[in-house]
Every structure is written in structure tokens, then in C-alpha cells.
Amino acid sequence: MSRRDVLQANARFYSAFGGSDAEAMEALWARRASVACIHPGGPVLRHREEIVASWRSIFAAGGVHVRCVQPEVFLNGQTALVTCFEFVGEHVLLASNLFVQEDGEWKMVHHHAAATAARPAAAPEQASRAIH
């Protein structure tokens, strides 16, 4: 279970999130581990059912065009934290996404996203993309 696997799990999360894919989102969250979720400005959601329902509500309300930028992995054995920027229209947020291994896969146990004044460092390829 490498750093790349973690990044792929994080990418699946943003694919489900941005694609309003409730089934994929539900599959991403751990089934046995303790889970929590803090949507921007919102309270702590603390049960799998409650968390999955919150995503279904977001998707039912039209979903969110979200783009994950500059994900970084902090790997500690069986636990992996990913921090990344979330671009949502003109809003920029920072997210902490926490994963643990369950049945040989990285599953989400925590998502905390909140507004930030920080901005991603301009990577060379990003600068290049902006020009073309």
C-alpha cells in the first residue's frame, strides 16, 4: 500500500464528490473504523449513515464542481493523511482527508474542509497549463 495508492483513493473521493456519485462516495467510507466528517462551516458528523446521507443531500441539491489541487500524502503505517486544496468556483478551501486500510484498500475515515486564505504553490506544470 504505497503513497500512490493513497493518492488514488483521494482521487476517487474527488471523482465521486465532483461527479455527485453517491454510490462511489458510500463505497469510499470505511465500514468498521470510526468515521467523522466536517463539511465547510458545518458540525461534526459522526456516523457512517449520517455522513453518507450528508453527501447524498449535497448531491441532491445539485452537487459541487470541485477540483482537488496539490494533494500531499502524510503516511504513517496503516494511516494516511492527505491535505489538498479544493477549488470550488471562486472559493478555495483546504481539506484534511484521512484514510485507513480496510480489506486491503484505503478507506476514508475523516474529511475536514474549510475556507482558507492560503493558495497552492505554483508548480511549473501548473504555470505552464495556465498559459496554454
Q: Which residue of 118, 122, 123, 126 would you call a contact of its own copies, by CB under 8 A?
A: 118
Assign 3-state DSSP to the chain and report helix, strand, coil percentages, each to 5: 35, 40, 30
Site for its own copies in 61-80 (CB under 8 A): 72, 74-79
Distance (Å, whole) CA 90 – CA 81: 25
The residue behind cell 467510507 is 29
Among the residues of the chain, which ranges form H helices?
A: 3-18, 22-28, 48-60, 124-131
Shortest distance in whole angstroms from residue 132 CB to its own copies: 27
Shortest distance in whole angstroms from residue 109 CB to its own copies: 6
Please tell me whether residue 122 binds its own copies under the rule CB under 8 A.
Answer: no
User: What residues make contact with its own copies under the rule CB under 8 A?
Assistant: 33-36, 38, 41-44, 46, 72, 74-79, 81, 83, 94, 96, 98, 100, 109-110, 112, 114-118
